A = this chain, B = another copy of it.
Amino acid sequence: MLARVGNYLCGDGQPLLLIAGPCVLQTRELAMEIGETLAQINERPDVNVVFKASFDKANRTSLAAKRGPGIDAGLRLLEAVGADSGLPVTTDIHLPEQAAPAAEVCELLQIPAFLARQTDLLVAAANTGRAVNVKKGQFMAPTDMRYAIDKLRGSFPVSDTISNPVEDDEPVPGKVLVCERGTFFGYGRLVNDMQSIPIMRSLGAPVVFDATHSVQQPGGLGGATGGNREMVEPLARAAVAIGCDALFFETHPQPETSPSDGANMIYLDQFAGLVDRLLRLRETVEGL
C-alpha cells in the first residue's frame, strides 16, 4: 500500500513521511527559518519532509482570533518556502474553489477534519490531480473513512485513475492519505484510538498521525483551544510503534507567539532531536 506525494512515496517499506510547519503562516522570515530546519532534517534518507502551513484558520473559536494572510498571499509565501527549502509544500483548504489555486503550489492538499464529509470539497481536491490528505473527523469511526477515500478515488482525473486503481493490492501508488487526529471523547477532550491506525491502513491508504492536534483540548481555554505539548512525543512514539506511515507536527521557534495552537507545538530547536528518536524507533518497528 503506497501513496505518491510529489516525488515521494509513502507507505509500506518507504521512508517516514513527515509533514511539519508553523500551523499558520505569519512572517516570511519565520516560514523561511522553519523551512530551513526542515530541509536539514530532510537530508536523512529515512524521512521525507513536506512543509505545511495554513493560509487561513477558517474555524477559529472566536471571530476576533487571527486567521492568517489569506489564500493569495499565503500561496505566494508557500511557493517561496518551497523554492527556498527545496521541500514540497502542503496546505489545508476549506472551500472547493480553493483547490485549484492551492494545487498550483502544493504537492499535497489537506482536508480539515470538520470538513471530511463535505463531498464537493473532496471532489474539488481530487480533481486537481494532487495527492490529498484527509483528516478523520472527530465525529467519525475509522472505518467510515472508506467513504472519504472512495469519494477521492472516484474524482481524480481519468489519466490518474487509470494509474491509481481502487484495488488495494495493486502495486501502483495511490494519492490518498488519511489522518488520525483524535476523536471526540466527552466535552472538551479528544482521545486517540490507536486502533484507528491499523484499521484505516486496512482501507488501502497510508495513515498520517497528527501528533499536534491530537493533544488539543477543544474549548479548554475560554475563547481559544488549549493543548498539552508534553504528550506530543509519547503519542507519536505509540503511533510509530503501531505502524503509522507518516507523522504531522506543528513546530515553531517560539510557540507562545503563534496565533494558534501554541500550547501544542514543538520548539523548533528541539524538533530534529524528536524526529531522530522517532526514526530510531521506526527502524526497530520495521525490523520486528
Contact = CB atoms under 8 A, between A and B. Distances in A.
Contacts of A218: 139-141, 144
Contacts of A242: 234-235, 237-238, 241
Contacts of A119: 58-60, 63, 67
Given A114-B114, A194-B194, A242-B235, A154 B219 contact: no
Contacts of A27: none
Interface residues of A, number: 65
A218 B144 CA distance: 9
Nearest to A278: B288
Nearest to A152: B63
A191 interface: yes
A139 B141 contact: no
B241 A237 contact: yes
B193 A192 contact: yes
Contact of A241 (B96, B114, B139, B241): B241
Contacts of A243: 234
Contacts of A240: 241
Interface in A238-274: 238-243
Nearest to A234: B242
Contact of A139 (B60, B138, B237, B283): B138
A281 interface: yes
A121 to B, nearest CB: 9
Nearest to A142: B187
Given A241-B281, A281-B288, 18 more contacts: A60-B119, A61-B117, A61-B147, A63-B151, A63-B154, A95-B96, A138-B139, A139-B139, A140-B218, A141-B187, A141-B188, A144-B187, A144-B188, A185-B191, A186-B188, A192-B194, A198-B231, A235-B242
